[in-house]
């Protein structure tokens, strides 16, 4: 059960972000599975994604009831702003593998896998701080066996975060956070 601001409830639903530095922008309820993690499912991974689009477009897509997709967090490129769209306790539909969906938190990063200009200092810093907080909160090791790319999910047909994602830089920031 969340504590502090995240515990604020409106009509039985949590109405604020779990991560204090995130803006709460809820995904449509048709795009994730309500759950009671970690009671129902352990949280063991953080999955790193790239949106293949804009921050605003991704937020809008996750709010579309026909999309049938979501992630827990979206990180904006230019300033590292973070939106939380699905609560950590719930199962976002991001990994393309139900088992991994139930056991992971998905973080989308604004940009395109073929254009490294999207991967800014602000984005890397904000995302690494978020991932560090998630790892600490849920007891996830801060290593590449548990912080993985979407392309590393078994059965995934995606290539993100792609060849331009700087894993060494990201993991150094994550270790220092």
Annotated active-site positions, please?
Answer: 108
3-state secondary structure of 41: coil
DSSP 79-124: T--EEE-S-TTSEES-SS-HHHHHTEEEEEESBBTTBGGGS-HHHH
Cross-strand pairs, 49: 108
H helix or E strand, kind and range, residue 126: helix 121-138
């Amino acid at each position: 059960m969340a504590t502090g601001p995240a515990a604020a409830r409106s009509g039985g639903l949590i109405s604020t972000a779990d991560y204090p530095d995130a803006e709460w922008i809820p995904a449509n309820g048709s795009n994730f599975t309500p759950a009671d993690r970690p009671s129902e499912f352990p949280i063991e991974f953080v999955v790193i994604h790239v949106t293949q689009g804009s921050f605003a477009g991704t937020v809008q897509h996750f709010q579309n009831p026909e999309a049938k997709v979501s992630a827990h967090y979206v990180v904006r490129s230019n300033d590292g702003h973070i939106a939380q769209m699905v609560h950590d306790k719930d199962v976002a539909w991001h990994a393309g593998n139900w088992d991994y969906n139930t056991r992971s938190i998905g973080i989308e990063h604004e940009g395109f896998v073929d254009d490294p200009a999207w991967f800014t200092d602000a984005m890397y810093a904000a995302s690494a701080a978020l991932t560090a907080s998630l790892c600490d909160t849920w007891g996830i090791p801060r290593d590449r066996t548990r912080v993985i790319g979407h392309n590393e999910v078994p059965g995934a047909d995606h290539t993100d975060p792609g060849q331009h994602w700087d894993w060494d830089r990201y993991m150094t920031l994550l270790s220092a956070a």
